[in-house]
Amino acid sequence: MGLFDKLKQSLGKTREAFSEQVNQVFKAFVAVDEELFESLEEALIMADVGVETSVYIIEELRGRVKTKHIKDGEEVKEELKAVIADILAEQDYAAHTDASPSVVLVIGVNGVGKTTSIGKLAAYYKRQGKNVLLAAADTFRAAAIDQLDIWAKRTNCDIIKHEENSDPAAVVFDACRAASARGTDILICDTAGRLHNKKNLMAELAKISRVIERELPDAPREILLVLDATTGQNAVSQAKLFSEAADITGIVLTKLDGTAKGGIVIAISKEQHIPVKFIGVGEGVDDLQEFSPEDFAKAIFEEGEG
């Protein structure tokens, strides 16, 4: 199965929520009028696009329909697809990890699949023939170190770890030194996800960043926030809070295959200006894929079975 087919299949629930609600609106209305726009806005909100982004999409759609003198429902639908694709295309979706070593810092609250995502990221880069090193800098939770250790073995990666409750920046320091010495391509660092104490989190991430800056000054750096798609608008709130604590370069959106709330991809892109860079579309180790705005827009509108 190709990547697009896999995406289309995994977005079955999102497509049902999204496409079916939108299609119902078009089936119910013959005229392209204000009532149609209001019903479309409601359908987008129900599909978890969020109020702010849904209002923006409909305003934009209204303007395009008026300018192009569109009178046909199918043409309105094509314009709606175009508006959504344009929102998604505004961000930089590439993962900048071409130079060696590149550093990927992974942040996110516990329970969103952060450690699992790191394991899948490691597998993703290993498939590209990269040499990957993991750093267990979430020292706050003993299980996090053990979990990452399991993933290191599973993906055949080296791991740098210290004792529970040790200084996360010290782990990252050792990992940076090891990455330099071993000719590592990608250094992936797990970090603690303590959002309830944003001040501590900010201080910790700042300290880690200073260590990386000092030890690997020329290394490209990604700061990826892991979010659980099934939490819908709560994930958008987390993106907002974390972006106040860290300079996030991208989102890893997990469990997209198990939810009808895929509309949050659009909300995060529009409201937080953070690109979704990777999406989790299944349980398997290979089920983390790079995000493509064009494929996503196409997959959520395609009718029929996935």
pLDDT on residue 92: 84
pLDDT on residue 178: 98
297 within 8 A of 6, measured Cβ to Cβ: no
Beta bridge partners of 250: 224
Q: Of 296, 299, 277, which Cα lies nearest the Cα of 124?
A: 277
Q: In this structure, what DSSP letter does residue 164 have?
A: T
Q: How large is the C-alpha radius of gyration of the chain?
A: 21
Handedness of CA 136, 237, 274, 43 (dihedral sign): positive
273 within 8 A of 53, measured Cβ to Cβ: no
114 within 8 A of 131, measured Cβ to Cβ: no
Helix/strand/coil (H/E/C) assignment for every residue in 94-142:
CCCCCCCCEEEEEECCCCCCHHHHHHHHHHHHHHCCCCEEEEEECCCCH
Q: Report the distance separating Cα 32 and Cα 53, nearest Å.
A: 21
Element (H, E) at 48: none
Reading the block at residue 122, the tokens are 């490691």
pLDDT on residue 299: 80
Model confidence band, residue 251 (pLDDT cutoffs 50, 70, 90):
very high
Reading the block at residue 282, the tokens are 């299944």
pLDDT on residue 306: 37
Q: How many CA atoms lie within 13 A of 158 on its CB side?
A: 17
Whether the link from the prior residue into 101 is cis, omega within 30° of 0, is: yes
175 within 8 A of 135, measured Cβ to Cβ: yes
pLDDT in tens, 195-223: 666 788 888 889 999 999 999 999 999 99
pLDDT in tens, 53-97: 999 999 999 999 999 999 988 899 899 989 998 998 888 888 888
Reading the block at residue 117, the tokens are 């995502």
